Chain A
Amino acid sequence: MSNTEIESRIRRFIDENFIFSEDDANLDGAASLLDAGLVDSTGILELVTFLESDFAIQVADAEIIPDNLDSIDAIVAYVAGKQGAASSVAA
């Protein structure tokens, strides 16, 4: 799956579940979801569940850190990395 496709699906999920104001509709890819108040402890779990089901990856507890999940860019890189690792193992 391309990074563009991953980003598109993540943006759609965040848009449908966490964005309630038009001001946040065109969220910068590098913007912190935590600092913007878009995601809280419940939202993080919702996001993790989405990533596991939609991208067929396993998110380890230790991977639930801001480095991986705090912005759209970070999430895209994380998912792409997990999928890349999975395909390397499969090959």
Chain B
Amino acid sequence: MLDAGVIRSNDQRDPVAAGGIRPCGVDDIPAVARLFQTTFQQGRKAGGQSLELHLRRELFEHPWQDPRLPSLVFEGADGAVAGFIAVRPHRLLLDGEPVLAAVGGTLMVDKSVSNPLMGARLLRSYLNGPQDLSFSETANEISRSMWDRLGGRTEPAYSMEWLRILRPAAMAVDVLATKSRAATAVAPLARLFDRGAARLRANPLPVDPSRDRGEEVGESDFVDAVLPLSATYPLRPDWNRESLSWFVGQASEKERFGPPVRRIVRDRKGRPVGAYLYCVQPGAIAFVLDIFAAPKAAEEVVDDLIADAWRRGAIAVRGRVQPELADLLLRRKAVFVHASSMVVHTRRAELLAAIHSGDALITGLAGETWSALIGGLFS
């Protein structure tokens, strides 16, 4: 539950030591935006959207807005916002029964105020809320450890990213360029190498461009395809056209990862059997939000993704591992690496069981990474 109110004390050493937690209001957005810029955006180029407008939309115009599940701020005794956790209401269905969930993320505290209790209190307040299920797919090591102490559990199967290299030489140059800009001087050679390697029969990372059988679609057709494809998961979001359109719209504003591409794959009768949303730009690693596929069409859908990313000039494709696609992605020469952790907190064993067995649709559009706070550029 939330703090009863802001606690006042005479502690002179640290004004925020006497602070308290309260629901985040619209008036807090400028302070939250400043905290976000300081915590997550330093050293990143600015651009694109207004962060304040985005926060207002994401926190207060969310289609599943619920007054019981507000985002929280930590207010110091001086009245300033010194900490924040975004609480995103989430409606799930477990075997058709509604589940009230809340996705917690963007936990941040003002580092100029030395008070390790702020983050702990924000997280504890959120987890003590009325929701049946709390989860986050972006927990760093500190957050993961805090969730663990509060009775949460890390789900390894959802805590990995897959990476499929398409142009190995360009990928190597890209990695080296993060250490030294001089590496970009050999980029033309890398392109030549990759072009040659693609023609080799012995290429260990083959791409079959003829597998590019899907079609790029608009948001409306994409939503129409995803709704039935997502209905097969025992634990899944309770989307309708309106709410799913909102999430897809938010997920389409990841300027750092490239423009969004929505594709669907159809069977011989023209029925959608797969759909995916990803951000892709030439010379960069494409970022996949979600892959939806009927079981028998999974190979066709993943092959279409790899071929499409290749055609658009991506050097690799990455995305959050979805357990049901893990084996297929391994067979398609993807490597798996640990990403941020998926942490889960619930007192309902059946929810944990559904997630632990890999039967849940709780990442990407169905989780937290739809947020433009991940991958967006802000002014």
Contact = CB atoms under 8 A, between A and B. Distances in A.
Interface of A: 34, 39-46, 48-49, 60-62, 64-67, 69
Interface string B135-150: 0000000100110011
A33 to B, nearest CB: 10
B124 A66 contact: no
B124 A61 contact: yes
Interface of B: 1-5, 7, 9, 11, 14, 17-18, 20-21, 114-121, 123-125, 128, 142, 145-146, 149-150
Contact of B4 (A42, A43, A45, A62): A62
A44 B150 CA distance: 11
Contacts, number: 68
A41 B11 contact: no
A66 B121 CA distance: 12
A45 B124 CA distance: 8
Interface centre among A40, A41, A62, by most chain B C-beta atoms within 10 angstroms, is A41
Contacts of B4: 60, 62
A73 to B, nearest CB: 15
A41 B142 contact: yes
Contacts of B119: 41
A44 B3 CA distance: 17
Given A40-B116, A61-B21, A66-B117, A45 B11 contact: no
Contacts of B125: 61
Contacts of A61: 1-3, 21, 121, 124-125, 128
Contacts of B118: 41
Interface centre among A40, A42, A49, A60, by most chain B C-beta atoms within 10 angstroms, is A42
A65 B124 CA distance: 13
Contact of B146 (A39, A41, A66): A41
Contacts of B145: 42
Given A44-B116, A61-B125, 8 more contacts: A34-B116, A34-B117, A45-B124, A61-B3, A61-B121, A62-B5, A62-B7, A66-B115
Given A39-B116, A40-B116, A64 B121 contact: yes
A72 B307 CA distance: 62
Contacts of B114: 34
